[in-house]
Amino acid sequence: MDSTQIVLFVIAGLAIVAGLYLWSTYNGLITLNVRVDEAWSDITVQLKRRADLIPNLIETVKGYAKHEKAVFENVTKARAATANASGPAEAAAAEGMMQSALKSIFAVAEAYPDLKASDNFQQLQSELVDTENKIQAARRFYNGGVREFNTMILVFPNNAWAKQLGFSKRDFFEVDNPDAIAEPPKVQF
């Protein structure tokens, strides 16, 4: 074997290694991207579930507290903002609104002992608390996926290729007011 053949074999070997690296990196990024999309879908499913529970809760409370119109309007606005959120940033802003609105509903419920004793209200409140817990779990799963994806994009040498392959950092689901969602709404009877 002469030196030209050796150089060609080395170049071919390097090209194969580079190709395998790019193939592996691309597939890894695709896998993580799909995982983040799936996690976001889980969040939207739980937000939809909560949004579907809200009208039932409002109707139950309305029967007891007809003069609490502002509370119901705020809950309706928060529900609409959550339903219309198109990404993590908008959903996070809507999440703060929703938590405040739900606290208002439960404050109204405190003023009406008959309402608090209602089986329908108790069931809706229990389902809502369960949904809030599921939203928190889905948020953690989503943010974990975003962390893995963003890390893979930012580490060397992936950072040299990720942008050319069409990948960019994803947004975490961060809430404007973390204290508002630190705990699910309290259920007190």
pLDDT tops 80 at residue 134: yes
pLDDT tops 50 at residue 187: no
Which homologous superfamily is 3-181 in?
A: LemA-like domain (1.20.1440.20)
pLDDT of residue 34: 93
Report which of residues 123 and 38 the model is more confident about: 38
Kindly provide the b/e burial profile for residues 84-123, where b requires at least 16 CB atoms within 10 angstroms of the residue's own CB: ebeebeebbbbbbbbbebbebbbebbeebeebbebeebbe
The ranges assigned to domains in the chain are 3-181
pLDDT of residue 63: 67
pLDDT tops 50 at residue 136: yes
Could you read off the pLDDT of 140-160 as tens digits, one per residue? 999 999 999 999 999 988 888
Find the mean pLDDT for residues 68-78.
Answer: 74
Residue 38 banded pLDDT, cuts 50, 70, 90: very high
Please answer whether residues 96 and 180 qualify as being in contact, where contact means their C-beta atoms are separated by less than 8 angstroms: yes
Count the Cβ atoms, other than its own, within 10 Å of residue 139: 24
pLDDT of residue 73: 76
Q: What is the largest CA-CA distance in the chain?
A: 95
DSSP 120-166: HHHHHHHHHHHHHHHHHHHHHHHHHHHHHHHHHHHSTTHHHHTTTTT
Please answer whether residues 84 and 176 qualify as being in contact, where contact means their C-beta atoms are separated by less than 8 angstroms: no
Nearest Cα neighbor of 49 from 108, 140, 109, 129 is: 129
Residue 165 banded pLDDT, cuts 50, 70, 90: confident
pLDDT of residue 189: 36
- Using only the alpha carbons of the chain, give its radius of gyration: 25
Count the Cβ atoms, other than its own, within 10 Å of residue 83: 15
Count the Cβ atoms, other than its own, within 10 Å of residue 19: 10
pLDDT tops 50 at residue 172: yes
Count the Cβ atoms, other than its own, within 10 Å of residue 77: 14
